[in-house]
Amino acid sequence: MIADADHAVLYFLNGLALKSWSFDVLIQLLERNMLVKGGVIVTVYWFLWFHRDAESEVRERRKTLIASVIGTFAGLMITIILTIVLPMRLRPVHDPSLHLLVPNGVETILKGYGSFPSDTATLAGGLTMGIFLVSRRIGIFVLAFVL
């Protein structure tokens, strides 16, 4: 059931590949530009870290942010171990049975790495949870961005 939903979204987005130069450039930007990928989360962390409040609130907020970074790194370690232990699942871009069109300029890197569990999702999810624990409103915004 989840695979069907994944494939529906994948084929919908892939239907736009190689048809629109603008779409291909946008996908290339999202794939390559680290500022687009992590810049929003880092900017929000900086804002929450340096935002002026009562001293006790600042201290508590910073403890939560530090704990979420530590927890995220622990989650990444678990993700790496699971990637080694679990059976290989090809990334969609490398799965020949899907017959996907790769947008112009997008590199099909990481061929030897599986797609599950996702280290990127672990990183984004862990850091976003820290933001959510500090500020529910900002956390929901960042969660919508990372999804």
Q: Render 53-71 in DSSP notation, one character per residue.
A: --HHHHHHHHHHHHHHHHH
Closest CA to 83 of 110, 50, 120, 118: 118
Cα 45 from Cα 101, distance rounded (Å): 36
Cα 110 from Cα 88, distance rounded (Å): 13
How confident is the model at residue 18, as a pLDDT? 72
How confident is the model at residue 132, as a pLDDT? 95
How confident is the model at residue 93, as a pLDDT? 61
How confident is the model at residue 27, as a pLDDT? 75
Judge contact between 132 and 140, C-beta under 8 A: yes
What is the token pair recorded at 80? Answer: 């790496």
**b or e along 76-99 (b: 16 or more beta carbons within 10 Å of the residue's beta carbon)?**
eeebeeebeeeeeeeeebbeeeee
Domains of the chain, residue spans: 2-146
How confident is the model at residue 26, as a pLDDT? 80
How confident is the model at residue 63, as a pLDDT? 95
Q: Tell me the C-alpha to C-alpha distance, in Å, between residue 98 and each of 32, 60, 83.
A: 23, 48, 22
What is the token pair recorded at 46? Answer: 């900086």
pLDDT tens across 119-147, in order?
788 888 999 999 999 999 999 999 988 87
How confident is the model at residue 139, as a pLDDT? 92
Which residues of the chain, if any, have pLDDT below 50?
1
